[in-house]
Structure 1
Amino acid sequence: MDTTTQFKALVVEKTADKQFVREVRQRSIDDLPPGDLVVRVHYSSLNYKDALSATGHPGVTRQFPHTPGIDAAGEVVACDSGAFAPGDRVIVTGYDLGMETDGGFGQYIRIPSAWAVPLPEGLSLRESMALGTAGLTAALSVLGLERAGVTPDRGEILVTGATGGVGSIAVAILAAAGYRVTASTGKEFEEEYLRELGATEVIGREELTAGAEKALLAERWAGAVDVVGGPTLAAVLKSVKYGGVVTCCGLVGSPDLPVNVYPFILRGVSLLGIDSVQASPGIRREVWQRLAGAWKPAGLAGMVTECSLQGLEVMIQTILHGGITGRVVVNLLES
Structure 2
Amino acid sequence: MFTAIFLTRQDKAVRAELTSLEESQLPTGNVDVRIEYSTLNYKDALAITGRGAVIRNWPAIPGIDLAGVVEQSSDPAWQEGERVVVTGWGLGEEHWGGLAQRARLSSAWLLRLPDGFSTRSAMAVGTAGFTAALCVMSLQQHGLTPGDGEVLVTGAAGGVGSIAVALLGALGYRVVASTGRPQESDYLTGLGAARIVDRAEFMQPGKPLQSERWAGVVDTVGSHTLVNACASTRWNGAVAACGLAQGPDFPGTVMPFILRGVTLYGINSVFVDNAKRERAWRLIARCIDQRLLDSMTTEIGLSQVIDYCPRLLEGKVRGRTVVDVNR
TM-score, normalised to structure 2's length?
A: 0.96
Matched, 1:8 2:3: yes
| Residue of structure 2 aligned with 1:111, choices 77, 90, 105 | 105
Greater shift, 283-292 or 53-62, is seen at: 53-62
Matched, 1:306 2:299: yes
**Which residue does 2:314 correspond to in 1?**
321
Q: Tell me if the contact between 1:172 and 1:297 (Cα under 8 Å) persists in the aligned partners.
A: no
One-letter amino acid matched to 1:69: G
**Which residue does 2:255 correspond to in 1?**
262
**Which residue does 1:244 correspond to in 2?**
237
One-letter amino acid matched to 2:254: V
Q: Which SS does the other structure have where 1:310 is aligned?
A: helix
The within-5 A match list for 1:134-213 is 134-208=128-202, 213=206
Q: Residues 93-126 of structure 1: CA distance to partner in whole angstroms, max 9, x if unpaired?
A: 1011111311111101001011111111111111
Q: Tell me if the contact between 1:160 and 1:228 (Cα under 8 Å) persists in the aligned partners.
A: yes
**Which residue does 1:31 correspond to in 2?**
25
How far the C-alpha of 1:288 sits from its partner, in A, is 1.2
Q: Which SS does the other structure have where 1:69 is aligned?
A: coil
Query: d(CA) in 2 for partners of 1:13 and 1:215?
Result: 44
Q: Which SS does the other structure have where 1:207 is aligned?
A: helix
Greater shift, 178-187 or 49-58, is seen at: 49-58
Query: d(CA) in 1 for partners of 2:177 and 2:313?
Result: 22
Q: Residues 165-209 of structure 1: CA distance to partner in whole angstroms, max 9, x if unpaired?
A: 101110011111111100001112211111111101000012345
One-letter amino acid matched to 2:73: C
TM-score, normalised to structure 1's length?
A: 0.94
Q: Which SS does the other structure have where 1:219 is aligned?
A: coil
Query: d(CA) in 2 for partners of 1:103 and 1:194?
Result: 31
Matched, 1:56 2:50: yes
How far the C-alpha of 1:320 sits from its partner, in A, is 2.2
How far the C-alpha of 1:289 sits from its partner, in A, is 2.0
How far the C-alpha of 1:57 sits from its partner, in A, is 5.1
| Residue of structure 2 aligned with 1:281, choices 274, 278, 292 | 274
Query: d(CA) in 2 for partners of 1:298 and 1:216?
Result: 41
Q: Which SS does the other structure have where 2:189 is aligned?
A: helix
Question: Post-superposition, which runs of at least 4 consecutive aligned residues in structure 1 deviate over 6 A?
Answer: none
How far the C-alpha of 1:314 sits from its partner, in A, is 1.9
Q: Tell me if the contact between 1:56 and 1:62 (Cα under 8 Å) persists in the aligned partners.
A: no
Query: d(CA) in 2 for partners of 1:217 and 1:301?
Result: 38
Q: Which SS does the other structure have where 2:178 is aligned?
A: strand
How far the C-alpha of 1:62 sits from its partner, in A, is 4.1
One-letter amino acid matched to 2:175: V
**Which residue does 1:84 correspond to in 2?**
78
**Which residue does 1:128 correspond to in 2?**
122
One-letter amino acid matched to 1:241: R
How far the C-alpha of 1:304 sits from its partner, in A, is 1.1
Structure 2 unaligned residues grouped into runs of 5+: none
| Residue of structure 1 aligned with 2:35, choices 24, 41, 51 | 41
Change (3 A) 1:182 1:58: closer
Q: Tell me if the contact between 1:177 and 1:295 (Cα under 8 Å) persists in the aligned partners.
A: no
Q: Tell me if the contact between 1:169 and 1:297 (Cα under 8 Å) persists in the aligned partners.
A: no
Matched, 1:227 2:220: yes
Q: Percent identity?
A: 46
Number of positions where the alignment pairs a residue of Structure 1 with one of Structure 2: 327
RMSD: 1.5
Structure 1 unaligned residues grouped into runs of 5+: 1-5
